[in-house]
Amino acid sequence: MQVVLDDYVWAAGIATELVNTAPEVWHGEEHLPDLAAFTDLHSLPAPTRPGELRAVHRLRTTVRELIDQPDRARLIAGASALTSPAGAVTLATSSGRSRWAVSPQPGATVADTLSLICGVGILGVVQTLGAERFRACGAPTCQGAFIDTTRPGRRRYCMPGLCGNRVNVSNHRARRAAAHAPR
């Protein structure tokens, strides 16, 4: 597997999805009980070693700590540490376009591969978009976090289809209740 260095949007999306599988985001329910579904969804190598799930849970905590405290120097240091499983840097060519890519070291675990992806995503966003793109979810009942890679940089929710929809439904119900309230 290769991680293209300028594809930070994809890598930051994986980091966001990983962070938002945590039980604190889902009010105690673990959304990463095994690695198979997550690795299949993102075309990552299948887990082959015991203890890989625990290592990915530890990685999830590390990435969340970085997103929660978005100081530029801290993000760079933390993301640089996450890229330590990097192996060879190569020039990958696809569709006639050459781009720099990095591969995990031979024998890398799923946690190593995810660490490399998250590190590339964080470094790319810090360099290209800035540290202010690391945010907590704007929904009042959500504990999620995300890396905003949208062009205008105005994303408010960790999962717009879920958290954003909940806020919109709540606001709609409040407006309806206010409109139908006796005066």
User: For the chain, what are the domain ranges?
Assistant: 3-180
* pLDDT tier at 169, thresholds 50, 70, 90: low
* pLDDT tier at 168, thresholds 50, 70, 90: low
Only one residue has tokens 């198979």, namely: 36
* pLDDT tier at 15, thresholds 50, 70, 90: very high
**pLDDT tens per residue, range 41-51:** 988 888 888 88
The predicted structure's pLDDT at residue 103 = 86
Domain 3-180 has CATH 3.40.50.720: no
Residue range 9-17: mean pLDDT, rounded: 95
Is there a contact between 5 and 121 (Cβ–Cβ < 8 Å)? no
| DSSP conformation letters of 109-173 | -HHHHHHHHHHHHHHHHHHHT-GGGEEE--STT---EEE--SSS-----SSIIIIIHHHHHHHHH
